Structure 1
Amino acid sequence: MAKVFITLTGTKHYFGNDFLKKGTKIRLEKEPDNEYDKEAIKVTYEGLGKIGYVANSSYTVIGDSMSAGRLYDKIGKTAYAKVELVTPAGTICKVCKKSLKNEMKETMNDEK
């Protein structure tokens, strides 16, 4: 199964990204009431709360990582990911396979 990566962005508006290390577990939560983006997915960290958002713009998505808009229908209300790489431009995270809906898993298997 292909791996699904996302870019965590906006951390400078919350707690920064100094505490994020490879393997750090984060929670993705859909935020349908977000006044700026109907497909917003906030990122939270246990004990801190909101630490940023899944990037949803060609200016903030790094490389081949999936935007919030592309990921939105592939996860339930919440999902989990792990930090893979922290950069000044954003943090690359891998979405946990168990967080993906079955349709996404089947599609990814078909593409193998």
Structure 2
Amino acid sequence: MEKVFITVTGTRHYFGSEFLEKDVKLFLEKEPDNEYDKEAIQVLCEGLGKIGYVANSPYTVLGESFSAGRLYDKIGESAVVKVVYKTDCGIVCKVSKKSLLDNKI
């Protein structure tokens, strides 16, 4: 199975990203009622709540990361990710294998 990565974006609108280090576990949760993006997936951190979103724009998706739209149907209502890299442009996380529905990506 191929490794699946996502980019976390928008952290500056919440708590920033200074606390995010390699291997920090984060949680993804679909947000179908989002008025701006029907494929929105929010990123949550235990103890803080929402810290950003899975990038869904060609301008915010880093490298080979999946966009929220590309990931949306491959997970259930929620998923677990771990931080892999942190850059000035976003945070790249790896989606846990258990979070992927069909395990055939």
Shift of 1:24: 0.2
- The RMSD of aligned alpha carbons is 0.6
Matches of 1:41 and 1:2, distance apart in 2:
21
Shift of 1:84: 0.2
- TM-score in terms of structure 2 length: 0.98
Matches of 2:94 and 2:27, distance apart in 1:
11
Identify unmatched segments of 5+ residues in structure 1: none
Larger gyration radius, structure 1 or structure 2: 1
Give deviations 1:14-54, integer Å, cap 9, x for gaps: 00000000000000000000000000000000000000000
1:71 aligns with 2:54: no
Question: What is the aligned-residue identity percentage?
Answer: 68
The 5-angstrom pairing of residues 62-101 of structure 1 reads 62-101=62-101
* SS in structure 2 at match of 1:73: helix
Which residue number in structure 2 is paired with residue 44 of structure 1? 44
Q: Structure 1 counterpart of 2:23, which letter?
A: G
Shift of 1:96: 0.3
Identify unmatched segments of 5+ residues in structure 2: none
- TM-score in terms of structure 1 length: 0.92
> How many aligned residue pairs are there?
105
* SS in structure 2 at match of 1:8: strand
